């Protein structure tokens, strides 16, 4: 077992407890922003202690982190794979996570203040290494999504099985978005079908929805909320046709939300499993052999789109052997 100086061991135990607590209440299905917050704060610790707000926050109250900074830190620990394009900077929970870590360090590790700068820098470097080994490397080693495909099932049910498998890993929303994107790309090969990371907000990206084909805007969600209905309302007001694709189990909930805004006759609300799967059935002429070929093509297109925009490679789907 690795032996550490008492002050470094105490710091590591505090870091581990902080990380565990942040993970319990993390935003979304990824803990990358927590890792980035920790790496960025520890980078400040190398130079300053106690850490003040101006040391780690910009004038805009964002954490002083970025993709290039995180890339540099990871490279120092032998990790060269792309981890976070923004370094967690644009995730709203990054700053509160960083603030809590700074508070823990300042309140419980006052002994760091009396250490020579090289010693404190070495401790911060080792703590960063702990984060990289235990969470960054593990992130890249997560397995691809594995699914079982029974060609005796209707294609919409197969799509539902994929969404269900992704849901167990808190990835259903991202997987659903990219499945719809892959379906549209296959169905309209001459159209420019948008391909964005699933964390890219529509408003921030300056687009009316997840996908636009002709004058129709598509929104994809497995958990419909009033906000997506408002986006559909804006689409209609701006002259678009709006289609909301939701998981079949949430279809009634989405329709009730639309009724509350008296939009039930203005927007289309469809089960995404049916939207994707029915097209695959039609392309396959409702035959098993062609169904296998077209499901394989769908997953291949999905993987290509995911690989182009997502850093989380566990979103990739392993193509079943029977396809």
Q: Going by DSSP bridges, is the β-strand pair 241-246/216-221 parallel, antiparallel, or unpaired?
A: parallel
Tens of pLDDT, residues 225-263: 999 999 999 999 999 999 999 999 999 999 999 999 999
Spatial distance between the Cα atoms of 102 and 44, rounded to a whole number of angstroms: 10
Name the one residue in this structure whose structure tokens are 């002050």: 7
Q: Could you give the angle at the alpha carbon of 89 between the alpha carbons of 84 and 90, nearest 5°?
A: 100
The pLDDT, as a whole number, for residue 202 is 44
The pLDDT, as a whole number, for residue 145 is 87
What does the block give as tokens for 253? 């909930």
Tens of pLDDT, residues 98-150: 999 999 999 999 988 889 999 999 999 999 999 999 888 877 777 788 888 99
Spatial distance between the Cα atoms of 228 and 240, rounded to a whole number of angstroms: 15
Domain boundaries of the chain, sorted by first residue: 6-140, 145-318
Q: pTM for this structure? A: 0.61
Q: Looking at 203-316, which runs of residues are DSSP E strands?
A: 211-213, 216-221, 241-246, 268-271
Tens of pLDDT, residues 300-323: 999 999 988 887 778 899 898 888
What does the block give as tokens for 18? 């902080």
Spatial distance between the Cα atoms of 280 and 116, rounded to a whole number of angstroms: 65
Query: Does the pLDDT at position 27 exceed 80?
Result: no
């Amino acid at each position: 077992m690795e032996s550490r100086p008492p002050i470094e061991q105490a710091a590591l135990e505090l870091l581990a407890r902080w990380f565990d607590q942040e993970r319990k209440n993390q935003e979304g299905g990824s803990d990358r922003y927590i890792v980035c917050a920790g790496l960025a704060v520890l980078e400040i610790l190398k130079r300053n202690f106690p850490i003040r707000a101006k040391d780690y926050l910009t004038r805009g109250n964002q954490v002083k982190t970025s993709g290039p900074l995180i890339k540099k830190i990871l490279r120092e620990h032998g990790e060269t794979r792309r981890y976070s394009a923004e370094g967690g900077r644009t995730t709203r929970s990054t700053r509160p996570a960083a603030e809590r870590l700074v508070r823990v360090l300042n309140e419980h590790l006052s002994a760091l203040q009396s250490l020579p700068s090289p010693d404190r820098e070495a401790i911060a470097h080792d703590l960063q290494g702990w984060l990289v080994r235990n969470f960054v490397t593990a992130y890249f080693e997560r397995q691809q999504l594995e699914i079982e495909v029974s060609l005796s099932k209707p294609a919409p049910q197969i799509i539902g099985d994929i969404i269900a498998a992704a849901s167990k890993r808190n990835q259903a929303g991202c997987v659903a978005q990219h499945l719809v994107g892959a379906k549209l790309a296959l169905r309209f090969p001459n159209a420019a079908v948008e391909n964005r990371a699933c964390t890219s907000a529509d408003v921030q990206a300056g687009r009316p929805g997840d996908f636009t084909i002709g004058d129709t805007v598509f929104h994809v969600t497995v958990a419909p909320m009033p906000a997506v209905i408002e986006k559909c309302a804006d689409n209609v007001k701006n002259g678009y046709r709006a289609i909301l694709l939701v998981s079949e189990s949430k279809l009634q909930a989405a329709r009730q939300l639309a009724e509350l805004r008296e939009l039930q006759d203005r927007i289309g609300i469809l089960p995404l499993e049916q939207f994707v799967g029915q097209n695959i059935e039609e392309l396959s002429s409702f035959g098993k052999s062609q169904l296998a070929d077209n499901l394989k093509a769908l997953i291949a297109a999905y993987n290509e789109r995911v690989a182009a925009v997502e850093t989380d490679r566990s979103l990739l789907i392993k193509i079943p052997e029977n396809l």
